[in-house]
With several copies, the nearest count.
Chain A
Amino acid sequence: MNEIAKVNYPPLDFPATRAIDDIVITVAGQGGDGTQTIIALLTHALFHRGLHLYNTSNIASRIKGGHAATMLRGSTKWRGCLNDRFDVLMAFDTEAIEKSARWVADDGVIIYDESRAKLPEGVIAPTVTVISIPFSRIAVRELRRDLFKNCVGFGLLSRVIGLPDEEAIGCIQQQFKRLSAQDLEYNLRAFQQGLEFADAMGLTAAHSVYSLPSQKNENRLLINGNEATAFGFAAAGGRFFAGYPITPATEILDWLTKRLPRLGGIAVQAEDEMAAINIAIGAAMTGVRTMTGSSGPGIALMQESVGHCGSAEIPLVIVDCQRAGPSTGMPTKIEQSDIGMLAHGSNGDFPRVILAPGNPEECFQIGALATNLAAIAQMPIYIAQDGLSQTSETATMFDVDSVQIEYGEKLSADDVAQMKEYRRYAITDSGISPWAVPGIPGAMNLVTGNERNEWGQVVTDLPNRQAMMDKRRRKVETIRPRLPLAKEWGDDSAIIGVICMGMISGVLDEARERLEKIGVFIRCHRPRTLFPVLDDTLAFTRRYKTVFVVEHNESGQFLHLLQGAGAPAENLISLRKYDGAPYLPFQLVEALLAELE
């Protein structure tokens, strides 16, 4: 197995080691290439360095074998987005090079197999360091399995980013701890192979391209938005989920299928989205805290049923892991373009709330809060996720013990026993009617999506109708104080405001930082309740003459929501990106500056 390693690989002329505190490493290839493994190894490495991590993918299709690029950003500061360019690109095939090479920083590094692809002309700065290495040939010839190329690659990469060998080996041991000793051994040998290559090229333990800092950052976890939302739901007592596979929401179904049964709960894969939400409705009516979820097309199919929950007063959490629409659209691309549907979809008027987390920690909190709010107000609560579903980030370790479980006006059999009379849809000041679930003696009641009287009997008389509509609307007012306000940050003497949602949070912060450097000061505002539009947000739109509304959709859906709620149109400037990729910091800076000129 030493043949190739002994080949005298031409030493390259590497510049002096550069210390950086922020790095983006991209590994790209076919889906089956195991690019995920390299990223996982790098993740271990950077995590233990105490860096903040941001990990996302760019995949063309979900079929195994489709092109996939996985990006990992590690930084001493929290970022929550990618950087403009990649510092290191490791490309396993032609498509990877073609698609990703242009995004490598001028002083970056490209590692690829030149026997497979040519570098595209004119897009790569001459200052980029290019390393060519026949990964798979080495892996197959030397270790008899293509799979091992990942560790070869990791070996080389560890020298590029200046990871001491012991640290790197620690990562391999951690990553493959469930493998047989022999397989672990093979992987370690592949890693050595990578190191030998590096040595031959002049990338030694002493002379790496980059060197990365270490910082103390205990009590962190790395988690993606879907997992965190599912976790928040479970932590708040959520014990029933029904869904149907769809990119990028499937992970929630998977996560809960694996974990709910331990907690005495059930997760069901239904035959379609209508079945999913109605199974969920059935469960929710028995009193178990219930969630369903999907992405745009599935949520569109659920619209009739969501309105039904609003009408019939059924507590349900609905997660929409948004993706690029319309219709089937681009399933693996990001967008924030279901907001209008969530706020205005389905027939008729009914109470609903849309919450929008901006990072995994908020996913956890909002997953829990939505579960409580649904139970309290007996109504549908949407969680609007975006690229967060496809992104992992480091976050402060969740505090599961501090999650409260609130039951609102749910009645026990004892409560009912004390009552003289029970009306399911009793008209109350809060709009919330005490709720007895099936099984409780004496409290038999009728739940319906038709208009009804307090007993749940279908009636159409006018004053009753009006009273019932008003009662349902009041529920939103009742929980309004519980709805999370916006996160606001930036320069508080700025004269420019910028509003964004969800995943844009990170990139907006980075843009803010850069703008500050050139003397442009902005105040940032990210509502965590999208609907109803809360007063703090309306006040923000009135506070500045120039308020940007930055969103990932074509029609300015959030802008319309804001204006619909009374935000002054003349103050608002709409910035929209809808090509399926999130803003990079420089793009957002440019977009903001272009409007300011």
Chain B
Amino acid sequence: MNAIATTKTYTPSQPIWCAGCGHYGVKNALQYSMQALDIAGHETFVLAGIGCSGTIQNYIGAYGYHAMHGRVLPTATGVALANPHLTVIAAGGDGDGYAIGGGHLLHTFKRNPSMVYIVMNNAVYGLTKGQDSPTMPEPTAAPEEQALDAIQLGLSIRGTTFLARGFTSRPAQLNRLMMQALEHARAKRGLAFLEILSPCVTYNDTYPLWDAMVIDKDADENYDNTNRAQAMVTSLELSEQGRIPLGLLYRGDHPSYDSAFHRNAVTAPALEDVKAPQQQQLLRDILAEYKR
């Protein structure tokens, strides 16, 4: 079912992004993949952070939410727990996700809730006019500070199951990764983390730089993306060489967070009929605990 065709509500607006912004590529990949996988807009909830990136939900025609700065992961986790029938897509910028949201990223990696998380990495705070983000190499204030590599971070947390990196200048691969991510999340296999290199033409135009740095690991037959340790070693080596690996860099099997909750009586709290008679009985049982 095509989401937009059946809508009784808003018409997705034109992006507010600057011409040439990488974020267009991210939006295209997401729309392409939703269509390719026949994912209905009304069953999809796109939650976005604050930033230029954090407007993507407005352009998709799905249910959309604009989180507070840095909080999109816990919010999306709440959605995934409360209604597992939804396809949950969290999205945001590198500032949103790695700076103010860094703590939640850590814990979301650890929990592995079934949802997609797209980070549009441009190494700057686009919306606030170009300050260094945690992925900026040689930040102005403390040039020796190392840029954060979120895939490496994800590899260090043993609950992760899907760690990928795409580049808006590699749209075919990006589409593929996006579809894989959606499938991973929808199969309730856990968090599909997809960092997308998405240059900010206005404040940090890294198209040529990144074009020279990226290396496609999907194309490398010797690379075993199910081996966490090897993935880490490879990634560290490439960093040393000034290269950035692209592809589905790690894929693991670990029960998802939601699967821990969705068992026994708990299926989808959002859909529970709380007025049902058996629920009344359960409440009376609780009351009975207090009878002395």
Indicate if A touches B (C-beta under 8 A).
yes
Cβ contacts A to B, 15 pairs, < 8 Å: A257-B140, A261-B266, A264-B272, A269-B132, A271-B134, A272-B103, A279-B74, A279-B78, A288-B270, A304-B68, A312-B66, A328-B66, A419-B8, A444-B63, A458-B55
Chain A, range 437-474, C-beta contacts under 8 Å to B: 437-450, 455-458
Residues of A contacting B125 in the complex (Cβ-Cβ under 8 angstroms): 245
Residues of A contacting B139 in the complex (Cβ-Cβ under 8 angstroms): 269
B95 and chain A: residue at smallest CB distance: A245
CB–CB A286/B129 < 8 A: no
Residues of A contacting B158 in the complex (Cβ-Cβ under 8 angstroms): none
CB–CB B292/A221 < 8 A: yes
Distance in Å from the Cβ of A392 to the closest Cβ of chain B? 11
Q: Is A207 an interface residue (CB 8 A)?
A: no
CB–CB B10/A455 < 8 A: yes
A228 and chain B: residue at smallest CB distance: B290
Q: Is B41 an interface residue (CB 8 A)?
A: yes
Residues of A contacting B55 in the complex (Cβ-Cβ under 8 angstroms): 458
CB–CB A282/B68 < 8 A: no
Q: Is B100 an interface residue (CB 8 A)?
A: yes
Tell me whether chain A's interface is mostly helix, strand or loop, or mixed: mixed
Residues of B contacting A270 in the complex (Cβ-Cβ under 8 angstroms): 74, 107
Residues of B contacting A282 in the complex (Cβ-Cβ under 8 angstroms): 47, 74-82
CB–CB A62/B127 < 8 A: yes
Bound-state CA distance A505–B114 (Å) is 48
Q: Is B146 an interface residue (CB 8 A)?
A: no
Query: Most chain-A Cβ atoms within 10 A of its Cβ — which of B57, B83, B139, B264?
Result: B83
A403 and chain B: residue at smallest CB distance: B283
Give which listed residue, B126, B266, B267, B285, contacts A63 with CB less than 8 A: B126
Q: Is A223 an interface residue (CB 8 A)?
A: yes
CB–CB A242/B78 < 8 A: yes
Q: Is A405 an interface residue (CB 8 A)?
A: yes
CB–CB B8/A264 < 8 A: no
B87 and chain A: residue at smallest CB distance: A438
Distance in Å from the Cβ of B25 to the closest Cβ of chain A? 17
Bound-state CA distance A244–B272 (Å) is 25
Residues of A contacting B193 in the complex (Cβ-Cβ under 8 angstroms): none
Over the window 255-276 of chain A, the binary record of Cβ atoms lying under 8 Å from chain B Cβ atoms (1 yes, 0 no) is 0010101111111111111111
Bound-state CA distance A152–B123 (Å) is 36
CB–CB A448/B66 < 8 A: yes
Q: Is B214 an interface residue (CB 8 A)?
A: no
B15 and chain A: residue at smallest CB distance: A63
Give which listed residue, B13, B83, B99, contacts A272 with CB less than 8 A: B99
Bound-state CA distance A221–B287 (Å) is 9
Bound-state CA distance A153–B162 (Å) is 55
CB–CB A279/B284 < 8 A: no
Distance in Å from the Cβ of B138 to the closest Cβ of chain A? 14
Bound-state CA distance A262–B286 (Å) is 10
Query: A250-B128, A266-B261 in contact; A443/B8 too (CB < 8 A)?
Result: yes
Query: Most chain-A Cβ atoms within 10 A of its Cβ — which of B50, B106, B134?
Result: B50
**Sample of 11 more A-B contacts, CB < 8 Å, known A271-B99, A439-B42:** A250-B131, A265-B269, A268-B141, A271-B102, A288-B269, A288-B272, A400-B286, A438-B86, A439-B83, A444-B10, A449-B68
CB–CB B66/A283 < 8 A: no
Chain B, range 12-33, C-beta contacts under 8 Å to A: 13, 16-19
Number of contact residues on B: which range applies?
A: 35 or more
Stretch of B164-172, B182-190, B226-234, B274-282 on the interface side: B274-282
Chain B, range 68-110, C-beta contacts under 8 Å to A: 68-71, 74-83, 85-86, 99-100, 102-104, 106-107
Give which listed residue, B6, B52, B83, B134, contacts A286 with CB less than 8 A: B83
Residues of B contacting A281 in the complex (Cβ-Cβ under 8 angstroms): 75, 78
Give which listed residue, B83, B100, B267, contacts A264 with CB less than 8 A: B267
A454 and chain B: residue at smallest CB distance: B10
Residues of A contacting B78 in the complex (Cβ-Cβ under 8 angstroms): 240, 242, 268, 278-286, 290
Bound-state CA distance A289–B272 (Å) is 10
CB–CB B8/A421 < 8 A: yes
Q: Is B58 an interface residue (CB 8 A)?
A: yes
CB–CB A285/B269 < 8 A: no
Q: Is A428 an interface residue (CB 8 A)?
A: no
Distance in Å from the Cβ of B261 to the closest Cβ of chain A? 5
B6 and chain A: residue at smallest CB distance: A442
CB–CB A261/B265 < 8 A: yes
CB–CB B65/A448 < 8 A: yes
**A residues touching B (Cβ–Cβ < 8 Å)?**
32, 44, 47-48, 61-66, 174, 221-223, 231, 234-235, 237, 239-240, 242, 244-247, 250, 257, 259, 261-276, 278-290, 297, 304-305, 308, 312, 327-328, 397-398, 400-401, 405, 416, 419-424, 437-450, 455-458
Give which listed residue, B64, B66, B126, contacts A449 with CB less than 8 A: B66
Q: Is B249 an interface residue (CB 8 A)?
A: no
CB–CB A44/B292 < 8 A: yes
CB–CB B128/A286 < 8 A: no
CB–CB A263/B64 < 8 A: no
CB–CB A279/B83 < 8 A: no
Distance in Å from the Cβ of B103 to the closest Cβ of chain A? 7
Give which listed residue, A64, A234, A240, A269, contacts B18 with CB less than 8 A: A64
Distance in Å from the Cβ of B83 to the closest Cβ of chain A? 4
Residues of A contacting B283 in the complex (Cβ-Cβ under 8 angstroms): 234-235, 263, 400
Residues of B contacting A274 in the complex (Cβ-Cβ under 8 angstroms): 71, 74, 104
Query: A223-B290, A262-B265, A443-B8 in contact; A278/B272 too (CB < 8 A)?
Result: no
Give which listed residue, B9, B76, B106, B131, contacts A423 with CB less than 8 A: B9
Residues of A contacting B19 in the complex (Cβ-Cβ under 8 angstroms): 65
CB–CB A398/B287 < 8 A: yes
Residues of A contacting B85 in the complex (Cβ-Cβ under 8 angstroms): 439
Distance in Å from the Cβ of B24 to the closest Cβ of chain A? 13
Give which listed residue, A268, A275, A446, A457, contacts B65 with CB less than 8 A: A446
Residues of B contacting A265 in the complex (Cβ-Cβ under 8 angstroms): 266, 269, 272
Residues of B contacting A275 in the complex (Cβ-Cβ under 8 angstroms): 71, 74, 103-104, 107
Residues of B contacting A221 in the complex (Cβ-Cβ under 8 angstroms): 287, 290-292
Bound-state CA distance A468–B65 (Å) is 18
Q: Is B157 an interface residue (CB 8 A)?
A: no
CB–CB B9/A424 < 8 A: yes
Residues of A contacting B40 in the complex (Cβ-Cβ under 8 angstroms): 441
Query: A63-B18, A439-B83, A457-B13 in contact; A247/B269 too (CB < 8 A)?
Result: no
B66 and chain A: residue at smallest CB distance: A448
CB–CB B10/A456 < 8 A: yes
CB–CB B81/A279 < 8 A: yes
Give which listed residue, A47, A264, A437, A446, contacts B266 with CB less than 8 A: A264
Residues of A contacting B291 in the complex (Cβ-Cβ under 8 angstroms): 221, 397
Give which listed residue, A250, A268, A272, contacts B70 with CB less than 8 A: A272
Q: Is B61 an interface residue (CB 8 A)?
A: yes
Residues of A contacting B284 in the complex (Cβ-Cβ under 8 angstroms): 400-401
Q: Is B215 an interface residue (CB 8 A)?
A: no
Bound-state CA distance A64–B125 (Å) is 13
CB–CB B64/A444 < 8 A: yes
Bound-state CA distance A269–B74 (Å) is 12
Query: Which 10 A-B pairs have CB atoms at the shortest separation, nearest pair first?
Result: A282-B78, A237-B274, A448-B66, A455-B10, A272-B100, A278-B74, A286-B270, A283-B82, A279-B78, A438-B63
Bound-state CA distance A287–B270 (Å) is 5
Distance in Å from the Cβ of B100 to the closest Cβ of chain A? 4
CB–CB B287/A400 < 8 A: yes
Query: A270-B74, A272-B70, A439-B85 in contact; A289/B9 too (CB < 8 A)?
Result: no
Query: A221-B291, A257-B141, A398-B287 in contact; A263/B134 too (CB < 8 A)?
Result: no
Residues of B contacting A242 in the complex (Cβ-Cβ under 8 angstroms): 78
CB–CB B65/A62 < 8 A: no
